[in-house]
Amino acid sequence: MRIGMGYDVHRLVTDRKLIIGGVCIPFHKGLLGHSDADVLLHAIMDALLGAAALGDIGKHFPDTDGKFKDISSLFLLSEVKKLLDSKGYKIENLDATIIAEKPKMAPYIPNIIENISKALSIDPSKINVKATTEEGLGFTGQGEGIASQCICLLI
């Protein structure tokens, strides 16, 4: 068994879509990044890659490579799954947290879990996604960005 932990953060900016867990969430700001800046999926990928001792998403999908510009993080997540499969790893479970003051994430979590389940070809019962605020504290609490954390177990 191997445990991995992932963390990611992106700044909120105007003129970008807010995509979290592969779901386009209606909001007046989106996340800044080279890809679609899906902070949740980036944390999940880093947790999975870390558990397998395969580096991080920057190693596999560098933001200096134009082919990853505006790419779907769901696609990248499916590529991480292929890499794990090639090394003989199976995902036992994922537990992830989205840290955002706004917008409220709860209405979107079922669709997010479905997207992750499909991208990783695992049962949705192996995936837990929750959201929290920071009660107005820090950059996420002030609405400057959104963060995410994930822990996973591979066998």
State yes or no: 61 annotated in a binding site.
Answer: yes
pLDDT surpassing 90 at residue 66: no
State yes or no: 28 annotated in a binding site.
Answer: no
State yes or no: 56 annotated in a binding site.
Answer: yes
pLDDT surpassing 90 at residue 69: no
- DSSP code string of the chain: -EEEEEEEEEEEESSS-EEETTEEE--S-EE-SSS---HHHHHHHHHHHHHTT---HHHHS-TT-GGGTT--HHHHHHHHHHHHHHTT--EEEEEEEEE-SSS--GGGHHHHHHHHHHHHT--GGGEEEEEE--TT-HHHHTTSEEEEEEEEEE-
In this predicted model, what pLDDT tens digit does every residue of 79-106 receive, in sequence order? 999 999 999 999 999 999 999 999 999 9
State yes or no: 27 annotated in a binding site.
Answer: no
State yes or no: 35 annotated in a binding site.
Answer: yes
State yes or no: 13 annotated in a binding site.
Answer: no
Domains in the chain: ranges and CATH = 2-154 (3.30.1330.50)
State yes or no: 113 annotated in a binding site.
Answer: no
